[in-house]
Amino acid sequence: MDITWYLVLSALLFAVGVTGVLLRRSPLVILLCLELMLNAGNLALLSFSRSLGDQDGQVLALIVMVVAACEVVVGLGIIVAAYRRRIPLNVDDLRTLRG
């Protein structure tokens, strides 16, 4: 099984995530699509780590996972805060930072 297959799959998953960000307008789903893209990046990191026989890529994937968790926590906090203030959860309306 060539490593190329894994890399092409990772590119496909990344493209699906980008399509979701461009297509959807609910901030929750956009955060989910960001997860898709980060996971595609992780898959590419692990593929390269396997193809080089070097474990550094796996450590980097772990750090990416931590950053993704932080991004989710802050993003969901913003969504909950916007919902409590009766701000419409639509990224077309959420254009300004003014609460």
Residues numbered 56 to 75 that lie near another protein (CB under 8 A) are 56, 58-59, 61-63, 65-74
Minimum distance of another protein from residue 96's CB (angstroms): 15
Coil/strand/helix, residue 30:
helix
CB of 11 to another protein, least distance (A): 4
Radius of gyration of the chain (CA): 17
Which residues, 6+ apart, have CB-to-CB distance to 51 below 8 Å?
A: 3
- Is residue 84 involved in binding another protein (CB under 8 A)? yes
Closest C-alpha to 45, from 33, 35, 31, 55: 55
Give the contact letters, 15-54, x = binds to another protein (CB under 8 A), - = no: xxxxxx-xxxxx-xx-xxx-xx--x--xx--xxxxxxxx-
Q: How far is the CB of 79 from another protein (least distance, A)?
A: 6
Work out the burial of residue 90: count CB atoms within 10 Å of its CB; fewer than 13 is exposed, 13-18 middle, 19 or more buried: exposed
Binding footprint of another protein, residue count (CB under 8 A): 71
User: Per CB under 8 A, does 85 bind another protein?
Assistant: yes
Asked if residue 21 lies in contact with residue 34, where contact means CB atoms within 8 angstroms, the answer is yes
CB of 9 to another protein, least distance (A): 5
